[in-house]
């Protein structure tokens, strides 16, 4: 069959498809806490909310399932994934491995302009009090460190892991000393890069990520333990 080229514009060109838009909206709702762990995601309710049929909703949910944002349960449909100490530890372990590689690859290609951009993002994050905006600035700072590497797949993988870790990172921001320490370590990494001391930057970055993962894992484990104890106490009171 002969391919036909039309002379009129395609208004959909460059736009995201409905499933992509829906998936990103749900992803951000999970990160931001509007959709909590274990919350049910009924396709008919989501279709009504987004004013679409169930087809793009179903595709969006399958995409989120592949990224482990949600879990499909037999006869119960889709639910938001629970917080997991093991998951957040693994996310940060993988991030540490990938980001150390990315930093080493990017370091020789940094310029005064790229370092100036990273510095501006760091200053913006240090002065930011809004938790959601701080998380975004933190992400942008890390990605600015690796952008000169020119490894689009590697940076995309790191970006995806940042998204998965953001719902946990917000827990870290409830403890102000950790935010200050994180900002200080970011400053040290940037100063090492400016001085051309790549290995010193790596030696700060790797434990920076691994220690954050361990801290968040401990925080989540304590949170889940306290929640379980509270549930047991409530159950005991109801029985009496």
DSSP string, 98-123: HHHHHHHHHGGG--HHHHHHHHHHHH
Residue 126 above 90 pLDDT?
no
Tokens of 196: 């051309």
pLDDT at 6: 47
pLDDT at 34: 87
Average pLDDT over residues 135-139: 88
Nearest to 55 by CA among 22, 27, 14, 79: 22
pLDDT at 175: 58
SS3 166: helix
Average pLDDT, the chain: 86
Give the least confident one: 19-28, 103-112, 150-159, 200-209. Answer: 19-28
Give the least confident one: 27-41, 91-105, 163-177. Answer: 163-177
Number of neighbours of residue 85 by Cβ within 10 angstroms: 20
The Cα 32–Cα 25 span in angstroms is: 10
pLDDT tens-digit readout, 169-183: 776 656 567 778 889
Confidence tier at 4 by pLDDT (50, 70, 90): low
Distances (CA, A) of 102 to 23, 150, 191: 27, 9, 17
The Cα 180–Cα 186 span in angstroms is: 10
The Cα 134–Cα 118 span in angstroms is: 14
pLDDT at 129: 76
pLDDT at 36: 87
State pTM to two decimals: 0.78
Residue 13 above 60 pLDDT?
no
The Cα 173–Cα 179 span in angstroms is: 6
Q: What's phi and psi for 57, nearest 5 deg?
A: -65, -45
Q: What domains are defined for the chain? A: 18-80 (1.10.10.10), 85-226 (1.20.120.530)
The Cα 54–Cα 124 span in angstroms is: 41
Query: How many residues does this entry show for the chain?
Result: 240
Residue 61 above 90 pLDDT?
yes
Number of neighbours of residue 123 by Cβ within 10 angstroms: 14
Which of 55-64, 131-140, 191-200 is predicted most confidently? Answer: 191-200
Q: Is 198 exposed, middle or buried (0-12, 13-18, 19+ CB in 10 A)?
A: middle
Identify which has the larger pLDDT, 82 or 235.
82
Confidence tier at 237 by pLDDT (50, 70, 90): low
User: Which residues are bridge partners to 40 per DSSP?
Assistant: 79
The Cα 77–Cα 229 span in angstroms is: 27
């Amino acid at each position: 069959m002969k391919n036909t080229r039309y002379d009129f514009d395609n208004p959909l060109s460059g736009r995201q498809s409905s499933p992509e838009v829906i998936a990103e909206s749900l992803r951000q709702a999970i990160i931001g806490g509007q959709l909590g762990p274990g919350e049910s995601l009924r396709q008919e309710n989501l279709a009504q909310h987004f004013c679409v049929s169930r087809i793009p909703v179903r595709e969006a949910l399958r995409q989120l399932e592949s990224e482990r944002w949600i879990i499909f349960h037999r006869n119960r449909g889709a639910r938001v994934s629970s917080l997991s100490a093991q998951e957040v530890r693994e996310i940060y372990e993988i991030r540490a491995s990938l980001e150390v590689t990315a930093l080493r690859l990017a370091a020789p290609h940094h310029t005064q302009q790229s370092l100036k951009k990273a510095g501006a993002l760091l200053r913006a994050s240090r002065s930011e009090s809004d938790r959601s905006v701080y998380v975004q600035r933190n992400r942008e700072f890390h990605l600015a460190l690796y952008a000169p590497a020119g490894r689009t797949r590697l940076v995309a993988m790191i970006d995806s892991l940042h998204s998965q870790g953001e719902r946990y990172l917000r827990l870290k921001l409830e403890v102000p000393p950790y935010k200050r320490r994180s900002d200080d370590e970011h400053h040290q990494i940037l100063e090492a890069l400016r001085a051309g001391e790549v290995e010193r930057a790596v030696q700060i970055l790797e434990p920076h990520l691994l220690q954050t993962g361990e801290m968040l894992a401990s925080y989540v484990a304590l949170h889940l333990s306290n929640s379980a104890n509270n549930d047991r106490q409530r159950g005991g009171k109801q029985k009496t």
